[in-house]
A and B are shown apart, each in its own frame.
Chain A
Amino acid sequence: SQQGEEDPQALSIQEGENATMNCSYKTSINNLQWYRQNSGRGLVHLILIRSNEREKHSGRLRVTLDTSKKSSSLLITASRAADTASYFCATDLDQTGANNLFFGTGTRLTVIP
């Protein structure tokens, strides 16, 4: 079963527009990560945000975390056709402290040139 759910499931925007994806999760976390997956390929780590952080930036990416609402959002600004991919949030739930990740359902982003 999935730990989290991304919303929307699919998003289609024009190049240059901003894309916002949301992730909700079920239980307390220590860290939340966002990954990107091009069709049928391996996942690429984008950004990690810790539970005591509220916002983090990396280039055109901005991630927010609201632990009270158990939700996170990923904003991609000035999107490019190359941003077309699926985006997943992942949380670490293991009570032993291990780094095992539990992924959400993903948002499929299409950026139209």
Chain B
Amino acid sequence: DSGVTQTPKHLITATGQRVTLRCSPRSGDLSVYWYQQSLDQGLQFLIHYYNGEERAKGNILERFSAQQFPDLHSELNLSSLELGDSALYFCASSVEAHRGYEQYFGPGTRLTVT
């Protein structure tokens, strides 16, 4: 158990809809990262928050947004969903924001868009 929790585990929704994925980092970790894993794109870095502030953006679509709250949990919002958004979404956390620290991954949320 990494100490990172994600809810829900599974999510099935229709095209055009909006969903929110939730992540609680390990106790004491200030950084939260979101990744998307799909068969065709592999593991892609989406966005990174550190202590409530956006730190970096990766391959995140404009239809997607995220935030990190004062209690350090984070939410990833996906809107106007398309079939291609079906993927595993992982949240990870680390104690610091700068390079050189291992990341602890949550179990993921499997999103299926029908």
Number of chain B interface residues as a range: 20 to 34
A50 at the interface (CB under 8 A from B): yes
Question: By the criterion CB–CB under 8 Å, are A99 and B88 in contact?
Answer: no
Return the CB mask of B11-47 against A: 1 if under 8 Å, else 0.
Answer: 0000000000000000000010101000000111100
Interface positions of B from 74 to 95, Cβ below 8 Å from A: 88, 90, 92, 94
Is the Cβ of A88 less than 8 Å from the Cβ of B2?
Answer: no
Chain B proximity of A37: nearest CB distance (Å): 8
Q: With an 8 A cutoff between CB atoms, is A41 at the interface?
A: yes
CB distance from B106 to the nearest CB of A (A): 6
Across the two chains, which residue of chain B brings its CB closest to A94? B56
Instruction: Given A97-B98, A99-B48, A100-B56, verify A42-B103 contact (CB < 8 Å).
Output: no
Residue of A nearest to B2 (CB): A42
Encode A51-89 as 1/0 by CB contact (under 8 A) with B. Answer: 000000000000000000000000000000000000010
The answer to whether A31 and B99 touch across the interface, beta carbons within 8 angstroms, is yes
CB distance from A35 to the nearest CB of B (A): 8
A99 near B105 with CB under 8 A, answer: no
Say whether A26 faces chain B, with CB atoms less than 8 Å apart: no
For residue B97, CB closer than 8 A to chain A, the reply is yes
Closest residue of A by beta carbon distance from B99 = A92
B70 at the interface (CB under 8 A from A): no
Q: Are the CB atoms of B100 and A31 closer together than 8 Å?
A: yes
- Using known A-B contacts A43-B105, A48-B102, A94-B56, determine if residue A102 contacts B94 with beta carbons closer than 8 Å: no
